[in-house]
A and B are shown apart, each in its own frame.
Chain A
C-alpha cells in the first residue's frame, strides 16, 4: 500500500489501520535543493511522451484514460448538483433528508463516488450564507459539481475566502447585507461541501426540471445566488 493521491481523496472516514509504508523513499530532505522540473516547456509533447511511455510499460490502460476523460468532462458536472437542489426545493421531505444525511440523499439520485464519499449540504437562507473553499489544495464535491473551475483552485480564492469572504463575494457581484451571517467551509479533511442555495422568489409554479436549469455551479459553491433570468417563464 502506498499513500496515493486517490487514497488521500477517497479513504472516506473509514481508513482504520491503513498501512504506512514508505513510498517516497527518494524524497529530498526539505530545505535541500528540489529537483522538480520547472514549468514544462512544451506540455503537449511532454505529456504525449509520458503517456506513450506509461502505456508501453503497462502501467496504464489507454482505454481507461479515455474513459476517465469522458467521465469527468461529460458525465459528471454541476447539472448533477442542480438536480439535487431542485429536488430539495420541490420536496420538503427530500430536503430534510438532504440536510440530515447528505451523502445518502444525494445517492438517491444516483450520484456519489470519487471525491464525494462523505458530503455535507449546507443551506443558504435569508440570514445565513455559506461559502466553500479548500485553502490547502482543491477539494471539491466531484459527484455533484464535477471538476473544480480554475478560480476555485486559484491562490486568490484559496487565500482570501477565509479572511475576507465578503470581499471575495463582492468580486463575484454578490453584496451581502451586514446582518447576514457568513459561514466559510474549509474542506480540510474528507468531507466535501455543497451549498443548497435559496429558491428564488416567484418560482413557485416552476417544474423541478425548469428549476434545475436555473441552478448554477457558482450558487452551489456559495459565490452567487440563484436568479431568474429576465423574461423567463415562471
Chain B
C-alpha cells in the first residue's frame, strides 16, 4: 500500500533529532508493550501500516505497537474490545495456544546453529546484471519501497531464497513460494537526478518478483 509508512525520499519531515544518552525505553508502559507484543507474537507489520497517516505521524513508536497489538488481539479473536477496555476477562483461559516461556526468551539472543538453506528456486538474475524494479502498487503489504519502483539497478549479491512477505488487504500472504532475494544497488542519480552525488548509491534487498530484466 502506498501509505505514510513508505516514506523513503520524502523531504518535509524536518531535521533528525537524536537524544543524548537515550534510554532503551522512555516509560514503564513502553517496556510492557514491547514485551507483550513480542510474547503475543501475532502482530503483522501490515497492521501498523493501516494506522491512518495523521495518527501514524503523531504516535510514538510504542503507541503504534500498542495500537497494532490491540487490533491484532481483536481480529484474532484473542480479546474483545470490552475486555481490553476493562482489563477483565469475559471468558476463561484461552488454551491450545503456544505461550512464550522464559527459556524461549533466553534462546532469542543465542546464535542459532548455522542453517543450511536449500535453494529451492532457480535464480532468474545473476550478479552484475542490470534490472529494473517493477512499477507495482499493491494495496496490501509489500517490501518494495515506492522510491525504487521503475528504477534501474544492478544485482550486487544473492541472498538465497525466501517466500515474499507481501500480503493481500486482509494481511494474508499472497505467495508462499520461495523466491531468490538479491541485494540491488541503485545509483543515487538514478533515484534522485542530478542533485544527488554521482558517487553515491542506495542498496536494497529485493525479492525476484519485484524485478524485471533491464
Q: Find out whether the CB atom of A154 lies under 8 angstroms from the CB atom of B17.
A: yes
Q: Find out whether the CB atom of B199 lies under 8 angstroms from the CB atom of A104.
A: no
- From the candidates A6, A25, A51, name the one contacting B41 in the complex (CB within 8 A): A6
List of B residues within 8 angstroms of A158 by Cβ: 7-8
List of A residues within 8 angstroms of B107 by Cβ: 113
List of B residues within 8 angstroms of A162 by Cβ: 8-9, 147, 191, 202
List of A residues within 8 angstroms of B86 by Cβ: 49
Known: A34-B52, A156-B13, A168-B16. A50 touches B36 (CB 8 A): yes
- From the candidates A24, A40, A54, A155, name the one contacting B7 in the complex (CB within 8 A): A155
Most buried by B among A3, A58, A103: A3
List of B residues within 8 angstroms of A4 by Cβ: 41-44
Number of interface residues of B (CB under 8 A): 132
Known: A135-B8, A135-B147. A53 touches B84 (CB 8 A): yes
List of A residues within 8 angstroms of B170 by Cβ: 22, 24-25, 27
- From the candidates A2, A36, A67, name the one contacting B42 in the complex (CB within 8 A): A2
Number of interface residues of A (CB under 8 A): 118
Chain B binding surface SS class? loop
Interface pick from A13-21, A89-97, A205-213: A13-21
Q: Find out whether the CB atom of A159 lies under 8 angstroms from the CB atom of B94.
A: no
Q: How far is the CA of A12 from the CA of B44 in the complex (A)?
A: 16
Does A226 sit within 8 A of B, measured CB to CB?
no
List of B residues within 8 angstroms of A30 by Cβ: 1, 50, 139, 169
Q: How far is the CA of A28 from the CA of B104 in the complex (A)?
A: 33
Give the residues from 170 to 201 in chain B that come closer than 8 angstroms, CB to CB, to chain A: 170-178, 181, 183, 188, 191-192, 196-197, 199-201
List of B residues within 8 angstroms of A191 by Cβ: 159, 183, 205
Q: How far is the CA of A64 from the CA of B104 in the complex (A)?
A: 8
List of B residues within 8 angstroms of A125 by Cβ: none
List of B residues within 8 angstroms of A149 by Cβ: 18-19, 22
Does B213 sit within 8 A of A, measured CB to CB?
no
Does B47 sit within 8 A of A, measured CB to CB?
yes
Known: A53-B79, A186-B8, A187-B205. A24 touches B47 (CB 8 A): yes
Residues of A in contact with B (beta carbons under 8 Å apart):
2-8, 11-30, 34, 36-40, 43-44, 46-54, 56-61, 63-69, 71-73, 75-77, 103-104, 106-107, 110-114, 117-118, 133, 135-138, 143, 146-147, 149-151, 153-166, 168, 171-172, 178-191, 218, 223
The 5 closest A-B pairs by CB, nearest first: A112-B111, A49-B87, A135-B8, A24-B171, A189-B205
